[in-house]
Amino acid sequence: MKQIFVAALAAASLFTLPAHADDTTDIEATIDALYAVISGPVGEARDFDAMRELFMDGASMGAVGAGPEGDGLGRIITLDQYIERSGPWLVENGFTERATRTEITQWGEIAYARSAYEGVNGGTGEVFLIGVNFITLFKQEGEWKIASILWRTETEDWPVAAAFD
């Protein structure tokens, strides 16, 4: 009987447990806050101090896409580099990014989210950008902080749905 119990326990450990409900809610709130802080109409300043509060020290961000030869091409930057490079554009052009689908996997103090998004032009209201954010988070002192984000825009070869298969 003891061997059956040990075998059952070992088999159960092979499966990832779903995120706890409270943690899932907190992780979703962090991701929602990320989308909210970069979104706004033309001319509206973004609260980059609030954005910094969402991230761990040393967090990284990056965009990935196809290079000229079809190979992956990307750039990894710091949060401050993102703010310096993208901040003025967000204000000048207006931009809203909203999640269309998010899946979260959590293991202890580590979480990973795939979050499909659409970007809306602040001047026209048209969706001009679709892609997926891959977000890693770490629960630090009771709060979920973003450790990294990599994103990729949708292409014919890489439809958003494929990120969730």
Residue 151 near residue 133 (C-beta atoms within 8 A): yes
The residue-averaged pLDDT of 118-144 equals 96
pTM: 0.84
Q: Which residues pair with 106 in a beta bridge?
A: 111
Residue 21: pLDDT above 80? no
Cα-Cα-Cα-Cα dihedral of 150, 82, 141, 133, to 10°? -20
Per CATH, the number for 19-164 is 3.10.450.50
Tens-place pLDDT, residues 73-97: 899 999 999 999 999 999 999 999 9
